[in-house]
Chain A
Amino acid sequence: MNSEEHIIAPVESAAADEDIIIVRDLNKWFGQFHVLKSLNLNVKKGERIVICGPSGSGKSTFIRCINHLEAHQRGEIIVDGVVLNEDLKNIEAIRREVGMVFQHFNLFPHLSVLENCLLAPIWVRKTPRKEAIEIAMEYLERVKIPEQAHKYPGQLSGGQQQRVAIARSLCMKPKIMLFDEPTSALDPEMIKEVLDVMIELAGSGMTMLCVTHEMGFAKTVADRVIFMDGGECVEEGPPQSFFNNPQQPRTREFLDQILQH
């Protein structure tokens, strides 16, 4: 999907000096299959990172390791000062601070939009219901669908559902947001409404890790673009040099393919 038309003025970087995510020598296997091969990544607070790469390169697996939806076998992941290991308390502590948006939205179909947004603040953060409703309405307004609060996910369009999913994550007031191809299950006319919300979020100083093939979005908001292939980090750099002057032949080949149409 070519999204040159989505480009607006680059969003000012909000990156601070602290590292909020530290990944060292991350290795993961699915059975015998080596999916992630010695990945290293330091993310500063407020930094916005776009991860791209061909299908099956391990992008989803990588960001799912960061909130431990996937367990890794070797290496170290430290998120917001907490070391990720098998300790359930650590995992839950990290998940409270890390929001995630999925390709297929994964809204809870048995709950209304508002209840979707209330579930975690009430049951995890122990927020009083009234306050939780205020927070939820505030975020539903930010994603521009406060009027749908009492509808059910099945009654919304794909783009609206994905915006609710973003609001649902934001209601936990996370420090980091992970996006796994948030627009690739959407019809073209709905992609922009979701990207607009993400651009707005980037402008608010959120730390973001985003798997996407929306190169226009990458150019607008990314501080760094990472190219993965075969479970390795092949190349990384700021968007200007990454897009205009890629160093690795594999990166060039991938960019040619994705930008040609």
Chain B
Amino acid sequence: MNSDPSLPPKSSVKPWNDPRVRSAVFQILAILAVAWVGYSLFQNTLTNMASRGISTGFGFLDSSAGFGIVMSLIEYNESMSYGRTFFVGLANTLLVSGLGIIFATIVGFIVGVLRLSNNWLIARLALAYIEIFRNIPLLLQIFFWYFAVLGTLPSPRQSVSIGEVAFLNLRGIVLPKPIFEAGSGAVGIVLIIAIIISLAIARWAKRRQAATGQFFPVLPVSAALILGAPIIAYFALGSPIGWDVPALSGFNFRGGITVIPELGALLLALTLYTASFIAEIVRSGIISVSRGQTEAAAALGLPPRRVLRLVIVPQALRVIIPPLTSQYLNLTKNSSLATAIGYPDLVNVFMGTTLNQTGQAVEIVAITMAVYLTISLSISMLMNIYNRAVALKER
């Protein structure tokens, strides 16, 4: 026995009955099992690929792709490499996810607030929207927008004209494209200066309010400045930005920018589907702030919009942010359903066509999974930073 009284007494439990020993043994066994499964999978794949004459490694990324992609944000043509197809797909994935997150947040917040409206009809309509969109499978909604809505639009020659500058048809929506001529840089510089001045005004207004208590209408003044100054500069410099308005020529439009229907359908479906979940999150966030908070703020003489902005929203955000983060992650991952209608996202282009042509399954699947993991972890990290900023301090 241990005779030194300054040390804790030695355990007299038999090692096979000691919970610490047991858990260590089981953990080691589990690690060995996982490692063995991983190793045999790896070996198996290598053998299979060798027998089919496929070389391993990332060398294939440099060879020429030889296939076209319907939409690309970066320069791309068939003679470019497989590596290039990766970036084309990635950019398209980021585009649809980024726009989806922005639109879903806006729609979700609006519907969530309307859901709490005192107006019976508005509240019911918001409820109907939420129940319909969150209870129908997303893939079905993508098909609905793609085939039933956008797919039944007229041909380019019978396009729906929006003010004779934008056109909606079976092949998507054609928008006018800005052409930057000499002097357009000055308009950009004016815009940047206007933004800097607005930020300066906001700082000045905050300091003046602290010193004198007087408020300054920062928002309308900044908005007028940021919108007005570039417009004045634009005309003062003799309209240096031209517009390439699309025009019908033969069976299709020439000029302008075309937003393909695949992007439209995917974006609509992702936005409306995710917004229905965000609306519920926003609603529960707002009702989680007790009535007493509103009453206490109102009793101090704060007008309703200040009560909302200073008391309710900051508290509701704490409840809203964590589930909102997982909706953003869902939207990003769901964007891979693009494959179903042929929107050229990362999965469709890289894990689809590129994989089929090269057969480099292990490398391509690994790269694609790593990309989604990176995007998701980045979103989580940003939202965690934001969440920590609004978190409640207790004890």
Contacts and interface: CB of A to CB of B under 8 A. Distances in A.
Contacts of A120: 300-302
Contacts of A88: 303
Complex A-B, nearest 4 residue pairs according to Cβ-Cβ distance, in ascending order: A154-B394, A106-B296, A120-B300, A129-B210
Nearest to B207: A129
B212 to A, nearest CB: 5
A110 B213 contact: no
Interface of A: 67, 69, 88, 92, 95-96, 98-100, 102, 104, 106-110, 119-120, 122-132, 152, 154-155, 165, 168-169, 172
24 contacts: A69-B295, A88-B303, A95-B299, A95-B301, A100-B296, A100-B299, A102-B292, A102-B295, A108-B296, A108-B297, A109-B392, A110-B318, A119-B300, A119-B310, A119-B311, A122-B213, A123-B306, A123-B310, A124-B301, A126-B215, A128-B211, A130-B210, A132-B213, A155-B394
Contacts of A169: 299-300
Contacts of B297: 108, 119
A152 B296 contact: no
A126 B299 contact: no
Contacts of B311: 108, 119
Contacts of B393: 152, 154-155
Interface string B296-336: 11111111001000110011001000000000000000000
A67 B314 CA distance: 25
A95 B300 contact: yes
A90 B140 CA distance: 54
Nearest to B212: A128
A88 B390 CA distance: 31
Nearest to B393: A152
Nearest to B394: A154
Contacts of A108: 293, 296-297, 311, 315
B394 A127 contact: no
Interface in B378-395: 390, 392-395
Given A104-B292, A154-B393, A67 B299 contact: yes
Contacts of A104: 292
Given A102-B292, A154-B393, A95 B214 contact: no
Contacts of B357: none
Given A95-B300, A119-B311, 15 more contacts: A92-B303, A99-B300, A106-B290, A106-B292, A110-B318, A123-B302, A123-B310, A126-B213, A128-B213, A132-B213, A154-B392, A154-B393, A154-B394, A169-B300, A172-B300
Nearest to A129: B210
Contact of A99 (B212, B290, B299): B299
B209 interface: yes
